Amino acid sequence: MSAKGDMFYAWTAVPDIKGECGGAVTSILKYLLDSKIVDGVLTVQKGLDVFDAEPVVITDSADLAKTAGSLHCGTLLLPKLIKKYLNGAKDMKLAVTCKGCDAKAMYELAKRNQINLDNIVMVGLNCGGSVSPVVARNMISSQYGINPNDVVKEEIDKGQFIVMTKDGQHKGISIDELEEQGLGRRTNCQRCETKIPRQCDIVCGNWGVIGDKAGKATFVEICSDKGAMVFDGAVKAGVLETSAPNPKGLEIRGKIENVMIKMGKKNQEKQFAAIGEGTGGRLTYIMAETSRCIKCYGCIESCPICYCVECSTKKNHLVPSGRLPPDFMFQLIRFAHIADSCVNCGQCTDVCPMNIPNSLFMHAQQVELQKMFGHKPGMDMELPVLAFAEEADERARLNATGSDMIYENVFKE
Amino acid sequence: MADLKYIQSTCPYCGTGCSFNLVVSDGKVVGVSPYPRSPVNEGKLCPKGMYANEFINSPDRLTTPQIRKDGKLVPVSWDEATSFIAENLKKYKPSERCALSSARVSNEDNYAMMKFARGVLKTNHLDHCARLCHSSTVAGLAGSFGSGAMTNSIPDIAESKCVFIIGSNTFEQHPLIGRREYMAKAKGAHYIYADPRRTITASQADLFLQFHSGSDVALLNGLMHDIIKNGWEDKEFVEKRTKGYEELKALVMQERYNLENVGKVTGLTPEDIHTAADWIANSGGCALIYSMGITQHTVGVDNVHATANLQMLTGNLGKPGTGVNPLRGQNNVQGACDMGALPVNFSGYQKVTDPEMHKKFADAWGFPEDIAPTQNGYEVTIMMNVLVDNPGELKCMYIMGENPLMSDPDLNHVKEAFENIEFLVVQDIFYNETCDYADVILPAVCYAERDGTQTSTERRVIRWRKAQDAPGEALDDWQIISMVAAKMGYEKQFAWQSASEIFDEMASLTPQYHGMNYERLNTPEGLHWPCKTPEDPGTPILHKEKFLTPDGLGVFFPAEWKAPAEVPDEEYPFVFTTGRCLFHWHTGTMTRRSPTLDKEVPTGWIEINDEDAKALGINDGEMVHATTRRDTISVMARISPQIMKGTTFMPFHFAECAANLLTHNALDPVCKIPEYKACAIKITKIEEGQ
């Protein structure tokens, strides 16, 4: 019987499963489907090529083989899709593969009653960051001198972005070098500190797998009781084989995680410093960048924190409709409602047709709010700093206290 | 249950050709999701694309064929409808028949219509709405370069050292191309924007040239004058790759095109014109981007020639970040033109009047009798004139996916024209203003319900993929045409079983598409034409070493500046210009049925300069009378300092205040495009009690 905190090397016992490194994730997903613990698996599969990561809901475990392997150009966020298109998992059980940002988004959606986390098995994935597909292709062409159409596999390993071509050519370039030139990982990934998302039920990756199992096993950490049950069930069902992890491997895994967290913090400092401070600096810069906004609503549609049926940005008295660019109030509403809970998933920057670095602005504010209020979004079910209140109800509540001390009545426990 | 599929398809709105995922659940499209893999838009969308799912399952969708019996529309079976159509079409002579194809349906549908018009109806009176927007481009650039299409591709605009945007409000009309303009600027490029209105696209400009609508040739000639005067022309390019330079030089070096005189005509300062000339010639690579502001004039062809002249003069062709880049409006207007839905061309711009081409198509199609004769047919704007001026010459019309009763100029004239059509068939996805005149209405499938290809403004051929079934009995446009053709006895010539088969037939006859097929097109990149062989990787940038003219040289077509056909006078003191807005598409059939877009912009307006409004005593939001020599409408005033004094603007999407009731049917003599961008108008305040 495993328990939260236990760690294993795990690999598939199913002959046809070929994973990224051992096939443990794919096997666990197979177990969950075959045993009907879940009705479907939400994950990504290769679309037209290795740069095209297509979200997919798998209901037949025979289709899981297509989803095996890592796609570093998988940049989409899965949890919002559950809210939008799968009724928030309220009437179905799902297993979902989660990068750090996916995991955090899950919790924020759950806090707002937009998905039922009890119905979801979160299979966490270590993530060093993803690369936008077209950037990857342009990068491979210009920096590697390789035709991107010839690439059959890509990976991020030991600080390098490595590609393999169909005739066996291997080439890697340091991620740092690429990012100095504005290429490489998405900018929010560069700032990210959630490399091993332990808020999932189990978390899997290849960091720390050394010795004869290197490249052939997945490092699995159990993170919850649900995770323990799932893992033990998979082993018992015969789809998974395990062994204890090499203690040196554990150390290495910890080291890699710490290095990446440090890198994330460093990039935050660097990127946030570049947008200035205060009303003369940061605010002016934000107003200039957002003046290109064409009201596509992409940021709102893709944001895991946004869920209002009647979005305030669509209220004519707050943001006059049909005007371009929209009044700065549009951006202020987003900042005011989202900033405390931004999980730095980067979707708002990815989808913006006018290249406005939305997630940079939002994340910068979240970091300040975290310093003030101590709230870290996406880790657990702790409620956010900001909460929706009906004015009439709130006034009644405050009145009933018989006191006019707002701070005491609102902020104190 | 847990049923979710992502079908990758292409946006049905503008000519940028963005891709997205249609999210399908339980057999119905329920949303749009980003497709980051697309090289064109990289997962980003404008509001129309973001909500391109909202109209698909509207309850207003046409679902059954209908015949007008005793003035009432009665639902009938496909068999009855197609028999009725065949019966009626047979009554008319070829010269009495005409057809309008659609810039919004697939290449396959357009090819089918082209074959139907020429092979079944035996007429070359075939056209579509490209006439109204880029016919100047097709005619103009065909002369200058041997090809009437955008010379460069969308991604390479971002590599430009200077973007010169004239007559294109790119951020609103082609947002994902606007993005490339911005990206060029972010990398240090100069950004010149010429428009009578200070739009959101202007907000990014290093140099904003707010000039009078219709003074484009003056400005462009003025730029060339200054460039030659300063010795900034690309002498090597001019010598090796062009002809006609001496004539061009003689014309533009006239004193009437010096900076001061051009400044007077355009309303610009000589300093600004000089700066623009410097940047265009000396930045190391200038991309000229244009759209309706250049084309929709009685001098549309001259305007286009002038842009080509400027870019040839400065050697800004054949390299990334340069070129003459007309931004095609409709999602598949490039394709509709390529497919020959034009009165003068078969597919691939092969001329109708060329006996060799005539034989090529006649032989390939194998109709028992000859096809339409080697004689050019009427353009749609000429069809309207003929219907009014010579009633009885044109008697019947078949319209697929077009709404002339909202989109053509001088709508009263159009109404008169349509009153004179004896038999009208309209094939569409929604009932629109044109359907009021139809004898038969046929329900077609929309973009999400079909396989097919479309060709974007950068000549990129991309796939549509079927995501859901059509409502009711709606069918593919090509299928409907095939059924009618069969009823007329031509089953053999219309025997296709799939869109792919049609594409293959078309490609066998069309040099630019010859190397393409559905398998090769099954990539996120698609293929840029020309793509002449199965190994040809396609051509993102045209005219690299040679132009597509017979001798490979670019041709200078010098043009004198002429004023618009109708200029302001005492009675009608303002310029009236029309255009689009970001949130709506053209005649509004799709976007006004999309709740998010409709809510954003529920109705139309007339934009009036704040000083002009003050003089008239008009306030923002007030209803006013807008009157031209054609008609008068009531419309809401939007007061703005962003539009030039003396100029007014209306979007044309709204039937309740239809801008085209006011526009002028004055045409460019060569390409027959209407002057939507300039006529004369008066604005009167509606006094209380009126």
Q: Identify which of B1, B581, B596 has the shortest CB distance to residue A39.
A: B1
Does A215 lie in the same domain as A114? yes
**pLDDT tens across B216-264, in order?**
999 999 999 999 999 999 999 999 999 999 999 999 999 999 999 999 9
B1 in contact with A at a CB cutoff of 8 Å? yes
Average pLDDT over residues A234-239: 95
Q: Which of A164, A184, A204 is the last residue of a domain?
A: A184
> How far apart, in whole angstroms, are the C-alpha atoms of residue B581 and residue B567?
24
Search chain A and give the residue with CA nearest B180: A354
Q: How many CB atoms lie within 10 A of CB B675?
A: 24
Of B2, B44, B47, the CB nearest to A86: B2
Closest CB from A48, A301, A354 relative to B524: A48
Phi, psi of B186 (to 5 degrees): -60, -25
Residues A44 and A98 in one domain: yes
Nearest Cα to Cα of residue B159 among B178, B193, B187, B192: B187
Strand B574-579 to B647-651 pairing: parallel
Mean pLDDT computed over B492-515 = 98
Q: Are residues A290 and A324 in the same domain?
A: yes
Closest residue of chain A to B523, computed from CA coordinates:
A48
Task: Kindly state whether residue A324 falls inside one of the protein's structural domains.
Answer: yes
Residues of chain A contacting B45 with CB distance shorter than 8 Å: 296, 298, 351, 353
Determine, yes or no, domain membership for A389. Answer: no
Q: In chain B, what residues touch A297 (CB-CB under 8 Å)?
A: 47, 50-51, 596
Whole-number pLDDT of residue A84:
96
Task: Taking residues B537-564, report their average pLDDT.
Answer: 96
Among B42, B171, B583, the residue with its CB nearest the CB of A322 is B583
Residues in chain B within 8 Å Cβ distance of A137: 39
pLDDT one-digit tens code per residue, A67-111: 888 889 999 999 999 999 999 999 999 999 999 999 999 999 999
pLDDT bracket for residue A18 (50, 70, 90): confident
**What is the pLDDT at residue A403?**
79
**pLDDT at res. B261:** 97
pLDDT tens for each residue of B64-78: 999 999 999 999 999
State the Cα–Cα distance between residues B308 and B328, nearest whole angstrom. 16
Q: Is the pLDDT of residue B399 over 60?
A: yes
Task: Check CB contact under 8 Å for A353 and B46.
Answer: yes
Chain B residues 548-607 with a CB less than 8 Å from chain A: 581-583, 596, 599-601
How many CB pairs below 8 Å do chains A and B form together?
A: 144
A41, A51, A52, A119: best to mutate for the B interface, most B CBs within 10 A: A52
Structure confidence by residue, pLDDT tens digits, A325-382? 999 999 999 999 999 999 999 999 999 999 999 999 999 999 999 999 999 999 999 9
Q: What is the pLDDT of residue A411?
A: 61
Q: Is the pLDDT of residue A48 over 70?
A: yes
Question: Per the structure block, which two tokens stand in for B330?
Answer: 């409709």
Nearest CA in chain A to B44: A351
* Per-residue tokens: A397: 């509540």
Residue A240: the pLDDT is 94
Burial class (CB in 10 A: 0-12, 13-18, 19+), B596: middle
* pLDDT tens, residue by residue, B432-470: 999 999 999 999 999 999 999 999 999 999 999 999 999
Residue A212 lies in a domain: yes
Task: Please say which residue of A263, A284, A314 terminates a domain.
Answer: A263
Task: Confirm whether A409 is domain-assigned.
Answer: no
Check CB contact under 8 Å for B6 and A94: no
CA distance B107 to B339: 6
Q: Is residue A249 part of a domain?
A: yes
Q: Which residues of B touch A94 (CB under 8 A)?
A: 2
- Residues 6 or more apart whose CB falls under 8 angstroms from that of A175 comprise A129, A156, A159, A160, A161, A184, A185
pLDDT, tens digit, 9 for 90 and up, residues B173-214: 999 999 999 999 999 999 999 999 999 999 999 999 999 999
Query: pLDDT class for B292, splitting at 50, 70, 90?
Result: very high
The whole-number pLDDT of residue A392 equals 87
* DSSP at B226: H
Q: Which residues of A touch B172 (CB under 8 A)?
A: 294, 324
The arrangement of strands across the sheet holding A7-12 comes to A53-58, A40-46, A94-98, A120-125, A202-205, A218-222, A7-12, A240-243
Question: Do residues A244 and A357 share a domain?
Answer: no
Q: Are residues A68 and A146 in the same domain?
A: no
State mean pLDDT over A155-165. 90
Residue A320 lies inside a defined structural domain of this protein: yes
Quote the pTM value.
Answer: 0.95
Q: What pLDDT is stored for residue A409 in this prediction?
A: 64
ipTM: 0.94
Q: What is the pLDDT of residues A277-291, one digit of tens each?
A: 988 899 999 999 999
DSSP-assigned states of every residue in B298-336: TTHHHHHHHHHHHHHHTT--SSTT-SEEE---BTTHHHH
Of B8, B179, B524, the CB nearest to A355: B179
Q: Are B30 and B57 in contact (CB under 8 A)?
A: no
A168 plus A212 within the same structural domain: no
Structural domain that includes position A11: 7-127+193-263
Q: How far apart are CA B396 and CA B391, in angstroms?
A: 11
A251 and A288 co-located in one domain: no
* C-alpha to C-alpha distance for B41 and B48, rounded to whole angstroms: 14
Which residue in B37, B47, B49 is closest to A52 by CB distance?
Answer: B37
Answer yes or no: is A19 within a domain: yes
Chain A: residue whose CA lies nearest to B521:
A48
In the predicted model, what is the mean pLDDT of residues B130-151?
A: 94
Do residues A53 and A71 touch, judged by C-beta distance below 8 A?
yes
In a domain, A2, yes or no: no
Report percent pLDDT > 90 for chain B: 99
State residue B151's pLDDT score: 97
Taking the C-alpha atoms of residue A394 and residue A390, their distance in angstroms, rounded to an integer, is 6
Domain boundary among A228, A263, A298: A263
A123 and A136 in a single domain? The answer is: no
B600 CA: distance to closest CA in chain A (Å): 5
Element containing residue A122 per DSSP (H, E): strand A120-125
Q: Which residues touch B148 (CB under 8 Å, ≥6 apart)?
A: B137, B138, B139, B140, B141, B142, B337, B349
Q: Which of B45, B183, B582 sits opposite A355 (nearest CB)?
A: B183
Instruction: Find residues 156-195 of chain B whose CB sits inside 8 Å of chain A.
Output: 171-172, 175-176, 178-179, 182-183, 186
Q: Give the containing element (helix H, strand E) for A203.
A: strand A202-205
Smallest CA-to-CA distance from B40 within B20, B24, B63, B25 is with B20
A77 plus A29 within the same structural domain? yes
By Cβ distance, the residue of A54, A57, A292 closest to B2 is: A57
Average pLDDT over all residues of chain B: 96
Residues A176 and A310 occupy one common structural domain:
no
CB-facing half-sphere around the CA of B444: CA atoms within 13 A: 28
pLDDT tens readout for residues B552-601: 999 999 999 999 999 999 999 999 999 999 999 999 999 999 999 999 99
In a shared domain, residues A20 and A86: yes
B9 vs chain A: nearest CA distance in angstroms? 13
| Residue A247 and residue A333 in one domain | no
The whole-number average pLDDT for the span B123-135 is 94
Strand B452-455 to strand B460-464: parallel, antiparallel, or no bridges (unpaired)? Answer: antiparallel
Domain CATH number, residue A140: 3.10.450.750
B690 has a pLDDT exceeding 80: no
Instruction: Please compute, for residue A360, the number of CA atoms within 13 A of its CA located in the half-sphere on the CB side.
Output: 25
A57 to chain B: which residues are within 8 Å by CB?
2-5
Q: What is the pLDDT of residue A280?
A: 87
Query: For chain A, how many structural domains are there in total?
Result: 3
What chain A residue is nearest to B32 in terms of C-alpha separation? A301
User: What Å distances lie between residue B484 and B405, B421, B491, CA to CA?
Assistant: 24, 20, 9
Torsion of CA B131, B502, B447, B384, to 10 degrees: 20
Nearest chain B residue to A40, by CA: B2
